[in-house]
Amino acid sequence: MYELKTLLPQFDIKLPTCMYELRNVSLSAGSAPCPQAREIQCNGAAKSERNNSKSATCALDLDILGQQIQHLLKNEDTAAILQRQEKVLKQLEELKAQLGLMRENLGVKVCEKSVQQTTASNNGGLKEIPLHDVVVNGHPNFIPYALLALKNAWRDLFTIDVKTFTHSTMADIGPAAREFEANLAKIAVNEALPKIKVTLIWKNCEHTEMISSPTMYVPIYGEVNIIRYLGRVGPPEYRYENSPLCNEIDAVLDICYQLLRCSTHKSQVAMVRLLDKRLNDQQYFGGNQMSVADIGVYSSLIRMPAIKDKDLTPALLAWRKRAKLITQI
Amino acid sequence: MVEDKENTASAGQEPVSKKAAKKQAKLAKKAEHKADTAAALAANEAAGDSAADHAAARYGLSEMIQSKDKRSEREFVTVSDLNAHVGKGLVWVRGRVHTTRAKGKQCFLILRQQSSTVQCILAVGDIISKQMVKFAGNIPKESIIDIQAKAVAVPTKIESCTEQLLELSVEQIFVISQAKAQLPLQIEDASRPENADDAEGLNIRVNQDTRLDNRVLDLRTPANQAIFRLEAGVCRLFRDILTEKGFTEIHTPKIISAASEGGANVFTVSYFKDSAYLAQSPQLYKQMAIAADFDKVYTVGAVFRAEDSNTHRHLTEFVGLDLEMAFKYHYHEVLHTIGNTFTAIFKGLRDKYSREIEAVGQQYKVEPFKFLEPPLILQFAEGVAMLREAGIETGDEEDLSTPNEKLLGRLVKAKYDTDFYILDKFPLAIRPFYTMPDPNNPMYSNSYDMFMRGEEILSGAQRIHDPEYLIERAKHHGIDITKIAAYIESFRYGCPPHAGGGIGMERVVMLYLGLDNIRKTSMFPRDPKRLTP
């Protein structure tokens, strides 16, 4: 390696005497400072000072450290160094225990479920950070079927615990939404799996929106974006961010978003064609594995009663049958 | 300007004499003016008298109604029903003079009936004489009058009245009860909308104390009419909903021998040779009714608190709506019953009292009350977690301070968009001794609070129904057992597990409507500084 020259000229630094000298933290953390260790430190420091003044080139103390070790070995202080090593190891152990305790405390304080989540973390879900329970506001005319589809698809992997409420701005939620509620309630909550709590509120609102934290009010609009969010926190099988199909899945979800905004039948059919092109004789969108893209398309098609079977291509119909087995809607 | 300056300058030098002089000058001027007008009036009257009054029988001060005549031939119509009589025959209407303004040969009079107003017009013609117009123009505001009139459709909307599409063409007008010419407050001022940003508009307000001192007048404003009709609605819904759920209404004594809770904040009254207390909660009696096998009970009645707190939400006497209910195995049976009762009340108000809510909203700009169905139930620990997330330091066993309570309300509103929520499982340490501890975690208890717009309205819990355990808990709290012997005794003969809670009616109405002061929702409020009217 290169040796760097010190940038600053050599000064004689006189330490002021009006201040206390701080004890070395790493050495004195455990019990009372071991005089032996202190001495070594002092020796080292003294030596390095001397060394510095001689060469005046070395900023890193590697040389000095080496010399120090040599010096120690020469002095046959192996016993001392052993002692010191043991002490350091012990301190590390203590530190580890302390951190573990802290983590446990924090976990319990922030969210009651975190313990359960950590135990099940290899199954999916985020590890240390407890999931926010999220609120989804939806209009009964635009039912977020994706929640039910995901719940069904993930029933053995991840629990989406959905509680439904009706907001005072809605006088009646209608039969479709009631049926949807009943279907959501049918799936039992498996406590062993990692879970996210979703509060679904029927509300007279324009968009399907999701709120995770009230302090940072950053709503997520649109059903497909909620699917994306859940896809990130859900089981690893459905996390698509690191998958090579990431762009493909995003593209399909974007088409779903467009599809839901189409008002004329003609434009809807055009979007269906685009979907068919994307599917392209594969088992599922983007390959042979069910992904959040399929959930998005499946949910969107339910919300579009104007799109009849005759508007779908044979490939899409076959896909729909396959997807139905998993989403069970 | 210049004159003003001079005045102030000279006033500084010899204030008393100058002021007195000014006053005298003013008085003299006034007297002069008076004499002038009197002369003019006399002249006018003379002229009027000389002219024959062809409408003399059609107006005047009615003699005091002493139930002499039945006059059942007169058919009265309420102002709000007038639109069904447009273009038809004559109708009678009784109402108050809201405003009246005579101008030459015409007089415009706005008639008010509760919250409805209608414009009336008198124009000199075959039926109406000049004198009659003058008479109508001089009726003091707030007098009660009977009019006979025809309802006529108008081409342009009358913006100042609630009946905007019609006016009344008056043919007869009689004063039934005359008001004093000088009113301590003007109804228009008292009902002026409160929008602080509107710098242009008239900014005349009637302050709270003037309103309360002249409550009879103040209560005539549309907003107040609506508030107290809605308050009646709250009571009615509370009764109806609970009766439907199988509750029985009970009445509890208000004069009691010993302070039921604590004892610090009770009113003492003399009771023959002894003294007694005014009940500060019907709780003990509700519980006794449960022990007496009434299963589910509620009570509506006055509650007295001798707390010397002059805040926007404390009264010394208010109407308590209390309920208590026996349950089978879990107090959540009761929690859900209370929660659903609230939701049903809110829904009833939303659906049946929308006109009242709108009328209040016209004077006091507030957000409509939002709620969820079923009600949102959060655990106390979850609430604390939400507060901590927002950067508030609060202990696990610490009670919510008022600011924290409000903040939590805002957080819940931001996240769930609801003004009503329930907080369950409060720490045991901050609840009264009779609260049942949580079986799973000794730190918590089977108790709950309910909140509206971030303010606590109900505090309830599962009560300990086992006398021995009750004694143990009381001892733990350092309470003198002898003082609560009667309370403990009532559980000695077997008592089902029960839970309950109580709300203050005024507070619920205030928070439902989003008003800023509980005195606005109490018809004749009692607070440490007010005993009248």
d(CA B384, nearest CA chain A) in Å: 9
- Residue A75: per-residue pLDDT: 62
Higher pLDDT, B523 or A60: B523
- Determine the CATH number of domain A240-329: 1.20.1050.10
In A, minimum Cα distance to B379 occurs at A112
CA separation for the pair A238, A228 (Å, rounded): 10
**Domain presence at residue B121:** yes
Average pLDDT over residues B459-475: 93
Number of residue pairs across A and B with CB atoms under 8 Å? 59
- B208 and B265 both lie in a single domain: no
Percent of chain B whose pLDDT exceeds 70: 91
- Residues of chain A neighbouring B414 (CB-CB closer than 8 A): 211, 214-215, 217
Q: Same structural domain for residues B193 and B158?
A: no
Give pLDDT < 50 ranges for chain A.
28-58, 110-128
Instruction: Give the residue from B342, B354, B373, B396 with the most A CB atoms within 10 Å of its CB, the best one to mutate.
Output: B373
What integer pLDDT is reported at residue A327 of this predicted model?
Answer: 83
Query: Which chain A residue lies closest to B394 (C-alpha atoms)?
Result: A109
Provide the pLDDT for residue B510: 95
Model confidence at B293, pLDDT cuts 50, 70, 90, reads: very high
- How many angstroms separate the Cα of B392 from the Cα of each of A130, A236, B387, B388, B404? 19, 35, 5, 5, 8
Averaged over B80-106, what is the pLDDT? 91
Is residue B452 within 8 angstroms of chain A, CB to CB? no
**Is pLDDT larger for residue B194 or for residue B437?**
B437
Residue A166 touches partner B, C-beta closer than 8 Å: yes
- Of residues A118 and B34, more confidence is placed in B34
3-state SS track over B391-415:
CCCCCCCCCCCHHHHHHHHHHHHHH
Per-residue model confidence (pLDDT) at position A35: 46
Q: Are residues B207 and B251 in the same domain?
A: no
Residues of chain A with CATH 1.20.1050.130: 111-238
**What pLDDT score does B115 carry?**
84
Give a yes or no: residue B307 inside a domain.
yes
Q: What's the mean pLDDT in B465-486?
A: 89
Is B507 annotated in the active site?
yes
Same domain, B146 and B255: no
Is residue B2 scored above 70 in pLDDT? no
Of the candidates B373, B415, B418, the beta carbon closest to that of A211 is on: B415
Asked about B401 being catalytic, the answer comes back as no
β partners of residue B376: B421
Is B412 within 8 Å of chain A by CB? yes
Domain interval for residue B364 = 222-521
Tell me the average pLDDT across B239-267: 84
- Rounded to the nearest angstrom, the minimum Cα separation between B390 and chain A is 6
Number of CB atoms found within 10 A of residue B96's CB:
20
How many structural domains is chain B composed of? 3
Which region among A192-201, A216-225, B31-40, B405-414 has the lowest average model confidence (pLDDT)? B31-40
Query: Are B318 and B453 within one domain?
Result: yes
> What confidence category does residue B16 fall into, taking pLDDT thresholds of 50, 70 and 90?
low
Please check whether residues B338 and B452 belong to one and the same domain: yes
Q: Which two tokens stand for residue B474?
A: 């009381």
Single out the catalytic residue among B307, B333, B382, B397: B307
Residue B382 is a catalytic residue:
no
Cα of B391 to nearest chain A Cα, Å: 9
Question: Do B312 and B352 belong together in one domain?
Answer: yes
Taking contacts as CB-CB distances below 8 angstroms, the residues of chain A near B369 are 168
Q: Full-prediction pTM beyond 0.80?
A: no
pLDDT of the residue at B300? 96
Residues in B 210-269 with any Cβ partner in A closer than 8 A:
none
Kindly state whether residue B204 falls inside one of the protein's structural domains: yes
How near does any CA of chain A get to the CA of B374, in Å? 6
How far apart CA B67 and CA A231 sit, in angstroms, is 80
Q: Which of A161, A165, A202 to mutate to test the interface with B (most CBs of B within 10 A)?
A: A165
**pLDDT surpassing 90 at residue B30:** no
Residues of A in contact with B372 (CB under 8 A): 165-168, 201
**Residue B349 domain-assigned (yes or no):** yes
Confidence of residue B27 (pLDDT cuts 50, 70, 90): confident
- Scanning every residue of chain B, which has its alpha carbon at the shortest distance from the alpha carbon of A111? B385
**Three-state secondary structure string covering B84-114:** HHECCCEEEEEEEEEEEEEECCEEEEEEEEC
On the question of a cis peptide bond just before residue B374, with omega within 30 degrees of 0, the verdict is: yes
Q: Do B416 and A165 touch (CB under 8 A)?
A: yes
Rounded to whole angstroms, how far apart are CA atoms B447 and B428? 8
pLDDT attached to residue A260: 86
Query: Active-site residue B468, yes or no?
Result: no
Same domain assignment for residues B204 and B298:
no
Contact A217 B414 (CB under 8 A): yes
B165 and B210 in one domain? no
B476 is catalytic: no
Instruction: Please state which of the ranges A118-127, A177-186, B82-91, B355-364 shows the lowest mean pLDDT.
Output: A118-127
Inter-chain CB proximity B416 and A168 less than 8 Å: no
The CATH number that domain A111-238 falls under is: 1.20.1050.130
- The answer to whether position B431 is within a domain reads yes
CATH of residue B162: 2.40.50.140
CATH of residue B254's domain is: 3.30.930.10
The larger pLDDT score, comparing residue A60 to residue B522, is at B522
Q: Is B305 in the active site?
A: yes
Structure ipTM over 0.85, yes or no: no
Whether residue B405 is found in the same domain as residue B444: yes
pLDDT at B406 > cutoff 90: yes
Mean pLDDT over B501-518 rounds to 94
Q: Does the active-site annotation cover B324?
A: no
pLDDT of residue B39: 64
- Domain assignment present for residue B486? The answer is yes
Least confident of A66-80, A131-145, B82-96, B334-348: A66-80
Query: Which residues, 6 or more positions from A281, have their beta carbon under 8 angstroms from its beta carbon?
Result: A315
CA distance A133 to A110: 12
3-class secondary structure for chain A? CCCCCCCCCCCCCCCCCCCCCCCCHHHHCCCCCCHHHHHHHHHHHHHHHHHHHHHCCCCCCHHHHHHHHHHHHHCCCHHHHHHHHHHHHHHHHHHHHHHHHHHHHHHHHHCCCHHHHHHCHHHCCCCCCCCCCEEEEECCCCCCHHHHHHHHHCCCCCEEEEEEEEECCCCCCHHHHHHHHHHHHHCCCCCCCCEEEEEEEECCCCCCEEECCCCCCCCEECHHHHHHHHHHHCCHHHCCCCCCCHHHHHHHHHHHHHHHHCCCHHHHHHHHHHHHHHHCCCCECCECCCCHHHHHHHHHHHCCCCCCHHHCCHHHHHHHHHHHHHHCC
Mean pLDDT, chain B, rounded, equals 88
Contact B373 A166 (CB under 8 A): yes
Residue B364 phi, psi dihedral angles, 5° rounding: -110, 110
Does the beta carbon of A109 lie under 8 angstroms from any beta carbon of chain B? Answer: yes
Portions of chain A given CATH number 1.20.1050.10: 240-329
Q: Is residue B22 assigned to a domain? A: no
Residues of B in contact with A137 (CB under 8 A): 417
Picking from A137, A165, A215, the nearest residue to B389 by CB comes out as: A215
Quote the pLDDT of residue B9.
Answer: 44
Tokens of B17: 């004499």
Query: Which residues of chain A does B415 touch, with a Cβ-Cβ cutoff of 8 Å?
Result: 135, 211, 213-214
